[in-house]
Amino acid sequence: MPEDSIEHIDFKELNEKAISQPLVTHIYTADPSAHVFDGKIYIYPSHDVDAGEAFDDLGSHFAMEDYHVISMDSIDSPAKDHGVGLHVDQVQWAEKQMWAPDANAKDGKYYLFFPAKDHDGIFRIGVAISDSPTGPFKPQDEAIKDSFSIDPAVFKDDDGSYYMYFGGIWGGQLQRWREGVFNASSPESPFAHLPAENEPALCPKVAKLTDDLLEFAHTAKDLVILDENGKPLLQGDIDRRFFEASWMHKYNGKYYFSYSTGDSHYICYAIGDNPYGPFTYAGRILEPVVGWTSHHSICEFEGKWYLFYHDSSLSEGVTHLRSVKVAEITYDAGGKIVTLEPYSK
């Protein structure tokens, strides 16, 4: 939803029309990564705080410093906040900006994957481990070797392999890695190093993880999103090209890669035949919400599929104070996801 329209919104009316309400209201939460462990829903969001930073295109006002873990016994039950699972002060290599995390489980251990800026101001991705899905999580001393950018999402395939999908342009710094190393030669601008509008868009990244889930098993690869003609989406195709917020799920044997288009505010998806792609653009999952960002996850619970997402309705449009929500999604006979309108109730 365009920023310049927020001042004209009647938030009481908007919230009455919303297809879902915030899961928690005592804190602001965003970027929800939802998983089902042992028959219960666990949500790993970022924790929005008002740090007093000025709004800019680098996301400096998103100054999150810790992670809470939220759980739900069922999709209709109250959401429980289990408190802080990890704080930036516990992470040796990280300085600030604990942005969107994800989690997964293996052999009785729970792994929290998270981005943060290191002491050189470069986003890296770290791992923290716990014996419980609610934490507390103990971080590794170093970030994942050769990791960069933001928004890690870790998908477990049917054969037990784990893959990390990640990346984000503008403040997420993905465009600064086009040559394989961090480019610090220009002013810190979100528009430096972006492709031209008629060039292929920057791709999200994918890497299989090692058996211990602590490192990449190979150098991260491009995940290419194709248009209806089999050509890579272009940078100027802002309604469809990747911006941030990777997620992967599997439905009827197909791989569904979903993501945010960022400045055009859509959650879109593309379908492929294997974890590496290529993926063909298939449509929108969610129309724009109130607030600048859109970020989501998708999981199955008791035979139904759910989209976890956020908006800024509770804070009445404050961009960096968001609230996690959930809504059911459905598929048509051809496997396409039926697009949700967030305020259509």
Q: Pairing relation of β-strands 297-301 and 40-48?
A: unpaired
Per-residue buried b or exposed e for 214-223, using 16+ beta carbons within 10 Å of the residue's own CB: ebbeeebebb
Q: Which residue has the higher pLDDT, 318 or 36?
A: 36
Is 341 contained in some domain? no
Q: What are phi and psi of 224, to 5 degrees?
A: -90, 130
Q: Which amino acid is at 107?
A: D
CB 95 within 8 A of CB 119: yes
Per residue in 45-61, pLDDT (tens digit) is 999 998 766 666 677 77
Which domain covers residue 10, as residue numbers? Answer: 3-329
> Is 13 one of the catalytic residues?
no
Q: What is the mean pLDDT of the chain?
A: 94
Per residue in 88-146, pLDDT (tens digit) is 999 999 999 999 999 999 999 999 999 999 999 999 999 999 999 999 999 999 999 99
Is 308 contained in some domain? yes
Q: What are phi and psi of 57, to 5 degrees?
A: -75, -5
Residue 38, domain CATH: 2.115.10.20
Q: What is the pLDDT of residue 54?
A: 61
User: Residue 258: which of 238, 289, 230, 279 has the closest Cα?
Assistant: 279
Q: What is the pLDDT of residue 257?
A: 98
Q: How many structural domains does the chain have? A: 1
**Distance, CA of 313 to CA of 289 (rounded, Å):** 9
Is 247 contained in some domain? yes
DSSP string of 54-103, one letter each residue: PP-TT-TT----EEEEEEESSTTSPPEEEEEEEEGGG-TTEEE-----EE
Is 345 contained in some domain? no
- The model's confidence at residue 62, banded by pLDDT at 50, 70 and 90, is confident
Of the residues 31, 48, 65, 151, only one is catalytic, namely 31
- CA 255 to chain CA centroid, Å, is 17
For residue 79, what are its two tokens? Answer: 């959401």
**Distance, CA of 217 to CA of 320 (rounded, Å):** 35
> Is 244 one of the catalytic residues?
yes
Of the residues 48, 151, 237, 244, only one is catalytic, namely 244
Is 340 contained in some domain? no
- Residue 14 is inside which H or E element, if any? helix 11-17
Is 337 contained in some domain? no
Q: Pairing relation of β-strands 94-96 and 109-118?
A: antiparallel
For residue 341, what are its two tokens? Answer: 């309108």
Is 98 contained in some domain? yes
Per residue in 171-226, pLDDT (tens digit) is 999 999 998 999 988 777 888 899 999 999 999 999 999 999 999 999 999 999 99
Q: What is the pLDDT of residue 2?
A: 47
In eight-state DSSP terms, residue 201 is P
**Distance, CA of 341 to CA of 335 (rounded, Å):** 19
pTM of the predicted model as reported, rounded to 2 decimal places:
0.96
Q: What is the pLDDT of residue 53?
A: 65
Q: What is the pLDDT of residue 120?
A: 95
For residue 110, what are its two tokens? Answer: 């729970």
Is 338 contained in some domain? no
Q: What is the pLDDT of residue 204?
A: 98
CB 289 within 8 A of CB 1: yes
